[in-house]
Amino acid sequence: METVEKEILTLVDEIGYDEITRLFGTLKGGKRLRAKLILEIAAEDKEAPKLGAIVELIHAASLLHDDVIDDATLRRGVASVNATEDSKTAIMLGDALYSKAYSSLVSFDEAVARTVSAAVTALSVGELMDVRMSEAFNADAERYMQMLYLKTAALIEASAKAAAQLTGKDAEAYALYGKNLGISFQIIDDILDIVSDEATLGKPALHDYEEGKCTLPYIYLYDALEGAERERLVASHKQKLSPEESAWIKAKMQEHKCIERSYALAQELSNKAIEAVSGDERLVGIIESMMKRSF
């Protein structure tokens, strides 16, 4: 991972503009899940750290744009670039990172480059779906899962698949691992937004719902409620929640076991991911740490 971090800084410096380097230095690195996957799967390939750095630049760019779209002022517990600078700066920084990542991909085999670039297209479609779905309460779990795959899981899937392509491993098996890991990862994030406090999250709890996002626990709760209670839930969508309203939503989720249902689905998908790579202990460890990080 130290090599990946050095590669990331090298790629950013190669853009050739000190302001880009300065702004990038204000970002928190996060879990580097995508790069870790690449290093685990393609450990023997000398190009793995560079590919990991490229994918992490893409991920960072997507988060910069995401913060602008969501008017988010915090990212991983620190002020977002659109908050400290402005939205134009955040968008242009994201564009610079995307462009550098794409130009660096051309040094890889065509299959690897095609896998990663296709995932970025999927990510963009998923982001647009997310924006459209936030306009009104979404009670369609299948539609939500499709958006979640495109917006989050596709790049994790591509990271695993591209790493396998680098080393001649079964690309489709590792892609399936990455896909299920990615979906599970986001479901756990959805749960965290509800059960964790602001200090842990780096943003206010239940913030997703206030932004208009109907994640799985809310969809499950909608299905469980009837009449006036269902209407109350929908009326709270995309509104600033009072402490009383937040407490009511959490109590109803506990009553109807919405968190448990969501976690069970994440666990089911994680098990499928493990099966796809025949119990590779290194990749099992990544799954287990991801599943445990919220509880």
Instruction: Report the predicted TM-score, pTM, of the whole model to 2 decimal places.
Output: 0.93
**In this structure, what CATH number is given to the domain that contains residue 90?**
1.10.600.10
pLDDT digits (tens, 9 = 90+) for 243-253: 999 999 999 99
Q: What is the pLDDT of residues 80-91, one digit of tens each?
A: 999 999 999 999
Q: Domain check: are 224 and 146 in the same one? A: yes
Which residues make Cβ contacts (< 8 Å) with residue 89, sequence separation at least 6?
A: 23, 81, 82
Q: Are residues 155 and 73 part of one domain?
A: no
Q: Tell me if 42 is assigned to some domain.
A: no
Give yes or no: residues 153 and 253 share one domain: yes
**248 SS3 class:** helix
Q: Is the pLDDT of residue 199 over 90?
A: no
Query: Above 50 in pLDDT, residue 295?
Result: no
Which percentage of the chain shows pLDDT scores above 70? 96
Parent domain of 273: 128-295
185 lies in the same domain as 96: no
- Provide the domain count of the chain: 2
Query: Which parts of 134-257 fold into alpha helices (H)?
Result: 141-148, 154-167, 171-195, 198-201, 207-211, 216-224, 227-236, 243-255
In angstroms, rounded to a whole number, what is the distance separating the alpha carbons of residues 25 and 140? 39
* Assigned token pair, 219: 């969809």
Same domain? For 142 and 233 the reply is yes
pLDDT of 154 higher than 90: yes
User: How confident is the model over 90-108, as pLDDT tens digits?
Assistant: 999 999 999 999 999 999 9
In a shared domain, residues 208 and 290: yes
Question: What is the DSSP track for 96-112?
Answer: HHHHHHHHHHTTS-HHH
Q: pLDDT tens digits, residue range 48-68?
A: 999 999 999 999 999 999 999
* Same domain, residue pair 239 and 144: yes
DSSP string, 98-149: HHHHHHHHTTS-HHHHHHHHHHHHHHHHHHHHHHHHTTS----HHHHHHHHI
Question: Has residue 122 been placed in a domain?
Answer: no
Least confident piece of the model among 63-67, 193-197, 213-217: 193-197
- 95 & 170 share domain: no
Residues 69, 166 within the same domain: no
Q: Please report the pLDDT score of residue 12 as a whole number.
A: 97
35 in any annotated domain = no
Amino acid letter for position 208 = D
